[in-house]
Homo-oligomer: A and B are copies of this chain.
């Protein structure tokens, strides 16, 4: 028994033990577990058998220390408790695990300071890569320079930073807004209202831009009044919406920047005794689970969160495996998927 305190010396089997049991050297045993290196089939079998018998499990920390590769990637999100992030993480985890990587989850809570600390922390942990959706306070990647310097691969997702040379996977919010609006137009809507999100958030800005361009492209005019700043939590924009719906030249279509906003709008329509979709067609954004269970089921724009996660993971893995000199950055922008349900289906 050693002089150092060990958690459980009697069951901690090491490669040394396996080596002793087989009569082989430590190096050969290691080679068996690395897979890549050349080893006779006979020795491989022998080692595997001994390892099995001794219940040997390779200590990843030691391997990580020696090799400099932790087989771990850090995933940084503003908050995990959110459809977009949790779904994306779900598929990241699955894909990375398949490739033998673990993920360490960190939440920035939309704080740049926290994000900076997290990055440093991940650096200490020797993560091989980082997948990050930056906080709202983050405007550049200065705090990730140390990661870059270490050669740690980085993939941005969901939110992008302008003017940065870095891998990124985001959804095409402009296209989503365009698709939703075009769909309403195709359904025969003549005057469409947009319940807009905070202008400062780029994804909302993009959705709005898509809305505007779709109208233009289809020869529909729109006034500024048709774009309502809508915030469900503070009942912001509710009165304006009621005003528009009760006035003359009543809107016959609503494109909401989110599903919850659409839900609130449905409530307003109900109050005013307006039917969905007969009087007013409506479409949301996000395709939350509840959409299909509403009555009528709510049309929405699916953000393909899992696809985003999968793609981010793939890009990272590619970089981790190749590690080529001339860095090439992949910037992906996925088109969202229009999900048409009853709430926006006017003509048969």
Q: Among A23-31, A84-92, A170-178, A223-231, which stretch is in contact with chain B?
A: A84-92
Instruction: Check if A60 sits within 8 Å of B126, measured CB to CB.
Output: yes
Instruction: Check if B80 sits within 8 Å of A93, measured CB to CB.
Output: yes
Q: Determine how close the nearest CB of chain B comes to the CB of A292; give it in whole angstroms.
A: 9
Interface set, chain A 254-298, CB cutoff 8 A to B: 259-260, 263-264, 266-267, 270-271, 288-290, 293-295
A68 interface residue per 8 A CB criterion = yes
Instruction: Check if B70 sits within 8 Å of A80, measured CB to CB.
Output: no
A311 interface residue per 8 A CB criterion = no
A102 interface residue per 8 A CB criterion = yes
A65 interface residue per 8 A CB criterion = yes
A328 interface residue per 8 A CB criterion = no
A234 interface residue per 8 A CB criterion = no
Kindly list chain B residues whose C-beta atoms are within 8 Å of the C-beta of A126: 59-61
Complex Cα spacing A271 to B5, Å: 70
Q: Determine how close the nearest CB of chain B comes to the CB of A228; give it in whole angstroms.
A: 17
A7 interface residue per 8 A CB criterion = yes
A105 interface residue per 8 A CB criterion = yes
Instruction: Check if B86 sits within 8 Å of A106, measured CB to CB.
Output: no
Kindly list chain B residues whose C-beta atoms are within 8 Å of the C-beta of A260: 289-290, 293
